[in-house]
Amino acid sequence: MHKAIAALRAQLLLLFPERQPVIDGSLAAVLAGEHVLLLGPPGTAKSALVRVLAQAFGGTYFERLLTKFSTPEELFGPVSLKGLEADRFTRVTAGMLPEAEFAFVDEVFKANSAILNALLSVVNERIFHNDGKPMPVPLVSMFGASNELPEGKELEALFDRFALRFQVDYLLRPQNLKNILGAAEPKLSGSLDMKTLRAAQAEVAKVKVSDATVDALIAIRDACRTEGIIASDRRWKKSLRLVQAAAWMAGEKQTTPEDLTLLVDALWREPKERSKVAKLVGRLADPVATQAVEILDAARETADKVAGLRSGDRKAYIAQAAQALEAFTQQVSKLEKLAKSAGRRAKDTIDAATADITEMHAELARAVSSGLGLRRVEK
């Protein structure tokens, strides 16, 4: 099972470039039976990723776009006419959310009060009340999407039900965009089944949460509170399930503080808080990996700065590009030094950062050579 999930992750990383945190978090959420919120503009492959995940496990899938005019029928099914004849208010749930194992609800915060209470019951208790009778639902994970954060206290309860929240933006690297433009719709070469997923979830639940992990989690909570970042007790408790899933995906039978790095996308309330949360969590959970991420962020900032000069003064662009190439080389060297003191999972972060910066170096070198009229010599 572990090899199968690892193979699925590898395929997803190829199909959806620049989405590693979202992919890792989504897999952890599915393994933990939690829900995910994807914030960002349209056209960032949010629904495509969820469809492929549902396909991967052979799960029943439900998708709906909400508007301010949406009615409960759109999510929970129409009222049964035969039921009305018998003085019963029963919904026909076939093919609707109450019978789905994976769900994608776009513009989820457009849910009105007529939808909200039933939706909360489905995502939290896994129960749908049909004609007053509690009906168990098979939902594994619901993925919500929105272009904006919720407004109004009535939506806060729904917002808190999403254990992980990700800001999903447009692709940054030109080569990744080029690959996507020429590719077919994302599709897996193989699939698992729900039996495999349920068995994997059972294994995840058996992963031991170490005392060191709990101590580090409490330290993170205290540090967040000092910075004014407050999460509910429910969120802290649910986060341990995600941590168990992260440890299981890494091949471990017991959690370590390193696994808490997943909490970076569980604790922020607004996207602008993410960098602060990342520093707090990283410092206490995995300082080596945090340094690697900071180096990668600096490299991306440099690449963006140079890209902004490309259409301007040629000499200024060439000079800035030369400095950037040297900076990339130094950053890769720093990562190599970090790797010597890194744990296994931190090394994965360092390897990914090294690959990204190496590709940035190659892309910039090609752009500079093209601008100078140089031809690349094939060996």
- Cα–Cα–Cα angle for 143, 116, 80, rounded to 5 degrees: 100
| 345 has pLDDT over 80 | no
Minimum mean pLDDT range among 180-189, 300-309, 324-333, 345-354: 180-189
Q: What is the mean pLDDT of the chain?
A: 90
Closest of 51, 106, 98 to residue 78, by C-alpha? 98
Using CA atoms, how far apart are residues 139 and 123, in angstroms rounded to an integer? Answer: 8
Look at residue 293 in the predicted model and tell me its pLDDT: 86
- Region 261-274 average pLDDT: 92
CATH topology of domain 207-285: Helicase, Ruva Protein; domain 3 (1.10.8)
Whether residue 374 has pLDDT greater than 60? no
Q: What is the pLDDT of residues 3-14, one digit of tens each?
A: 889 999 999 999
Pairing of strands 141-146, 102-106: parallel
Average pLDDT over residues 248-275: 92
Provide mean pLDDT across the span 235-263.
93
HSE-CB at 333 with a 13 A cutoff on CA atoms is 6
> Once rounded to an integer, what is the mean pLDDT over residues 89-103?
94
Mean pLDDT of 7-33: 93
Between CA 149 and CA 157, with CA 151 as vertex, the angle to 5 degrees is 85
Q: What is the model's pLDDT at position 224?
A: 93
- For a pLDDT cut of 90, what percent of the chain falls above it? 63
Residue 372's pLDDT band, with cuts at 50, 70 and 90, is: low
Residue 335: predicted pLDDT: 95
pLDDT per residue as tens digits for the range 148-173: 999 888 899 999 999 999 999 998 88
Q: Which residue has the tokens 């080569």?
A: 175
Instruction: Identify the pLDDT of residue 378.
Output: 46
pLDDT at 190 over 80: no
Mean pLDDT within 101-117: 93
CA distances from 131 to 31, 126, 127 (A): 32, 16, 13
CATH code matching the domain that covers 2-198, chosen among 3.80.30.20, 3.20.20.150, 3.40.50.300, 2.40.50.840: 3.40.50.300
pLDDT in tens, 282-315: 888 888 888 898 899 899 999 988 888 877 778 8
